[in-house]
Amino acid sequence: MLLNLTINGEQRSDNVDPRMLLVHYIRDIANLTGTHVGCETSICGACTVLINGSAVKSCTILAVQADGTKITTIEGMAEGDRLHPLQEGFWEEHGLQCGYCTPGMIMTAADLLARNSNPTEAEIREALEGNLCRCTGYQHIVKAIQFAAAKMRTSKAA
Amino acid sequence: MFPASFEYHRVSSVKDALALLSQFGDEAKILAGGHSLLPMMKLRLAQPAHLVDIGAVHELAQIQEQGGRILIGGLATHHSVETSSIVKAKLPILAECAALIGDIQVRNRGTIGGSLAHADPAADYPAAALALEAEMTLENPGGKRKVKAADFFLDLLTTAVQAGEILTQVSFAALGAGTGGVYLKHRHPASGFATVGVAAVVTLKGTNFDKVRVGITGLGAKAFRASSVEKALAGKASDAIAAAASHAADGVDATSDTYASGEFRAELARVYTRRALEQAVARVKA
């Protein structure tokens, strides 16, 4: 079945089997392997991407359901060599150890910060409910998102 | 973890979806957000030969107010219910219930129609739909019919939706004066589903109960109205809540699993019913 969509600004048209999950389309057809496959049961959040700006778990969406949408993956966050404030925050605040959950964390945080530019710590933790990290204990992830929120507010004000 | 192969049909109207359902009968399933159906298909608990995707039938995602009722299209996501200014103003209990479902990613995709039609025994919406006396609109090739929430949930994963029908709209009466409601849940720590969830909607006349509606999910095979609690409170004042709430699990075969025994679930139902009733009363007075 023909699938037309935009990933990170690039228009694509691919023939896919209807049962192909969006995460496999992103990784295996679009060759964007920054989006990870974790639990495959919509619990862990490693596969989180944005569809039209909303964070979703791409392991629980058929690729064909994303027809006509705009998808953003972790590869679409930086502008050239300039990291997105969220990526910078994870770097500066040591928001990752093994890094497996990180792309999903960043995409969920991007949805949060688009809706709420100045979230409280509790709001950040609540937004990350659907993203599991087995390394960090979340403390540094929360700090990374606070770093990004502050930086994005400053650059908006400037 | 791929679902088994199926034939995919994308439709742009309810009429086209109904035509495909008539054509393929039991072989076809409606796909909305897919957050109940796709996990079932990945585990091969469901293996439909045809999927009819109604995701592009945008009019089914509307939330509107009409003649004192709030009409929510079956395709409205949990996130849109949670953030709708109409729902927040007229049915705050429903917005709160939606906000407690899963996580933000799930709420961005999962739909109210999908959740209700799937009827997971631990889903959150059924408790609220029962306590708010929601009315479901089911469309079939012959027209439409309406089913009250009390007649909708029949058994485990089983509802009044017949083969060939689609749940297109859920309608609620706005909460009136003197009425307060709340939904409380004991959240399963891993899945986010309700180990037990209780929705209580109360109307007071003076200091006494005029109307009490309690919907409970997670306790047994299906969500239900706790009629023995409701009867025990008829005409009484709020000091009767504790005794009435002790009947919350009466006559229900409580589910046991590795996380919660049936006995624990029954106790949760009693405790959460008491708390929900107390908070609902406090909201009327506030």
State the smallest CA–CA distance between residue A18 and chain B in angstroms: 6
Asked if A41 has any chain B CB less than 8 Å from its own CB, the reply is yes
Domains observed in chain B: 7-53 (3.30.43.10), 63-173 (3.30.465.10), 179-285 (3.30.390.50)
A62 vs B8: CB contact, 8 Å cut-off? Answer: yes
- Same domain for A63 and A105: no
A10 CB neighbour count, 10 Å cutoff: 11
The minimal CB distance from B8 to the residues A42, A43, A64 is found for A64
Which of A47, A74, A101 delimits the end of a domain? Answer: A74
- B159 alpha carbon, distance to own chain's centre: 11
The minimal CB distance from B108 to the residues A20, A45, A55 is found for A55
Asked if B46 has any chain A CB less than 8 Å from its own CB, the reply is no
- Chain B residues touching residue A39 (CB < 8 angstroms): none
Report the chain A residue with the minimal C-alpha distance to residue B43: A41
B103 vs A45: CB contact, 8 Å cut-off? Answer: yes
Question: What is the SS3 assignment for A137?
Answer: coil
The minimal CB distance from A130 to the residues B7, B31, B103 is found for B103
CA dihedral of residues A93, A96, A101, A103 (deg, nearest 10): 60
- Position A79 in a domain: no
- Position A103 in a domain: yes
- Same domain for A54 and A7: yes
State the smallest CA–CA distance between residue A49 and chain B in angstroms: 9
B39 vs A111: CB contact, 8 Å cut-off? Answer: no
- For residues A1 and B44, give the distance between their C-alpha atoms in angstroms, rounded to a whole number: 22
> Domain residues for A118?
85-157
- For residues B248 and B215, give the distance between their C-alpha atoms in angstroms, rounded to a whole number: 10
Is this complex's ipTM strictly greater than 0.90?
Answer: yes
Helices and strands counted in chain A (H then E): 5, 5
Q: Quick one: pLDDT at residue A87?
A: 98
CATH number, domain with residue A70: 3.10.20.30
Q: Quick one: pLDDT at residue B285?
A: 74
For chain B, which residues score pLDDT lower than 70? none
- Position A115 in a domain: yes
- For residues B143 and B141, give the distance between their C-alpha atoms in angstroms, rounded to a whole number: 6
* Contact present, A141 and A100 (Cβ < 8 Å): no
Asked if A112 has any chain B CB less than 8 Å from its own CB, the reply is yes
CATH number, domain with residue A114: 1.10.150.120
A60 vs B2: CB contact, 8 Å cut-off? Answer: no
Place of tokens 């109940």: B36
Asked if B48 has any chain A CB less than 8 Å from its own CB, the reply is no
- Position A80 in a domain: no
Q: Quick one: pLDDT at residue A155?
A: 87
The minimal CB distance from B104 to the residues A43, A59, A130 is found for A130
How many domains does one find in chain A?
2
- B127 alpha carbon, distance to own chain's centre: 6
- Same domain for A9 and A69: yes
- Same domain for A92 and A61: no
- Position A19 in a domain: yes
b/e per residue A35-61 (b: at least 16 CB within 10 A):
bbbbebebbbbbbbbbbeebbbbbbbb
- Same domain for A58 and A20: yes
- Same domain for A94 and A146: yes
- Same domain for A93 and A60: no
Q: Which residues contact A54 (CB under 8 A, 6 or more apart)?
A: A111, B79, B108
Q: Quick one: pLDDT at residue A156?
A: 81
- Same domain for A91 and A54: no
Q: Quick one: pLDDT at residue A97?
A: 96
For chain A, which residues score pLDDT lower than 70? 158
- Chain A residues touching residue B51 (CB < 8 angstroms): 18
Which of A52, A74, A96 delimits the end of a domain? Answer: A74
CB pairs under 8 A between A and B: 79
Q: Looking at the DSSP assignment, which residues form a beta bridge with residue B159?
A: B153
B106 vs A130: CB contact, 8 Å cut-off? Answer: yes
